[in-house]
């Protein structure tokens, strides 16, 4: 029996054909918070199969994406490739490499590149009551300030375990974690069971940077600096008029933006909630 799942985001969709219960379980883990759609024709079809020895294979069209017998490695490769395909031709709005959360219906955008610590900070905020939306992709339709997030599992690099051990009992929540050699993928509802997924209006932009034992620094950015910082995290600029600059400036003018340097989570307690109150 073939299990089919078509998921859409930001005007694009992909289809996944899963050949075995084991593979279906991996796909369900990764994409359980994204409702299936049949309204958008899929740009690509992934075929996920497993042979009698337990060797799994993922192909995108005719191209091989993964071959092996490790669930976590397959999940890592598949999620990265699906995200790439969903943003490849995105042109109806701005797509940011960013985390997103909501606090009492108010949206927080945390843009940043790979290694900026978005996912670790996001996990800590979820443990404090914020609703998790994503730690990877946030889409703003043209002329809108409403956040549309791609709700994948939290993607926590292995070194973050040392920082998050007090928040996450990895043995207790093992059913909600998928491990690869590179990262832990964690279902947000094992941290906040009543997590609500929504499309909130943007109310705050944060550009954080973690530096071990650093003194806390917090500064509101000018609109010009906020716009330039947003441009650095805009990943579909080549598909947009004026490379998305006017839209990035528009967002920077709508809401306050802050840069933040911190050396421990204790330095942040209550600060972000206060900005949103």
**Domain 93-276: CATH architecture, name and number where available:** 3-Layer(aba) Sandwich (3.40)
Query: What's the CA gap between 103 and 203, in Å, rounded?
Result: 10
Contacts of 250 (CB under 8 A, 6+ apart): 143
The 10s digit of each residue's pLDDT in 230-267 is: 999 999 999 999 999 999 999 999 999 999 999 889 99
Look at the block and give the residue holding tokens 């990877």.
136
Contact 171, 203 (CB under 8 A): no
The structural domains of the chain, with segments of one domain joined by +, span 3-87, 93-276
- Read off the pTM: 0.94
Residue 166: what pLDDT?
A: 78
Average pLDDT, the chain: 93
The 10s digit of each residue's pLDDT in 52-67 is: 999 999 999 999 999 9
Residue 1: what pLDDT?
A: 66
Look at the block and give the residue holding tokens 């306050």.
256
Residue 77: what pLDDT?
A: 96
Contacts of 16 (CB under 8 A, 6+ apart): 4, 5, 6, 7, 27, 31, 45, 46, 48
C-alpha distances (whole Å) from 97 to each of 161, 171, 172, 233, 277 are: 22, 30, 31, 5, 26
Averaged in consecutive runs of 10 residues, what is the pLDDT profile of the chain (277 residues)? 88 94 96 87 95 96 95 96 94 97 96 83 94 97 97 91 80 86 92 94 95 90 97 96 97 96 90 90
The 10s digit of each residue's pLDDT in 62-81 is: 999 999 999 999 999 999 99
Contact 252, 231 (CB under 8 A): no
Look at the block and give the residue holding tokens 């590179």.
182
Contact 89, 239 (CB under 8 A): yes
């Amino acid at each position: 029996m073939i299990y089919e799942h078509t998921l859409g985001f930001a005007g694009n969709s992909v289809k996944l054909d899963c050949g075995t219960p084991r593979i279906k379980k991996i796909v369900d883990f990764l994409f359980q918070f994204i409702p299936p759609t049949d309204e958008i024709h899929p740009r690509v079809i992934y075929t996920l199969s497993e042979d009698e020895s337990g060797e799994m294979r993922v192909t995108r069209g005719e191209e091989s994406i993964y071959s092996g017998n490790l669930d976590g490695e397959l999940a890592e490769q598949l999620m990265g490739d699906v995200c790439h395909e969903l943003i490849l031709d995105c042109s109806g709005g701005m797509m940011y490499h960013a985390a997103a959360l909501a606090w009492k219906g108010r949206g927080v955008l945390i843009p940043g590149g790979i290694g900026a610590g978005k996912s670790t900070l996001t996990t800590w905020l979820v443990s404090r009551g914020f609703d998790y939306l994503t730690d990877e992709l946030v889409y703003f339709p043209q002329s809108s300030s409403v956040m549309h997030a791609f709700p994948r599992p939290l993607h926590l690099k292995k070194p973050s375990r040392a920082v998050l051990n007090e928040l996450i009992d990895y043995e207790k929540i093992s059913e909600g974690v998928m491990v690869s050699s590179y990262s832990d993928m964690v279902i947000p509802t094992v941290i906040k069971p009543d997590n609500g997924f929504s499309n909130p209006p943007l109310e705050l932009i944060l550009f954080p940077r973690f530096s071990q034992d650093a003194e806390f620094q917090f500064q509101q950015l000018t609109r010009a600096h906020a716009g330039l910082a947003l441009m650095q995290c805009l990943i579909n600029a080549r598909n947009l008029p004026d490379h998305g600059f006017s839209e990035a400036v528009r967002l920077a003018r709508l809401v306050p933006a802050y840069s933040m340097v911190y050396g421990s989570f204790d330095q942040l307690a209550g600060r972000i909630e206060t900005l949103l109150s």
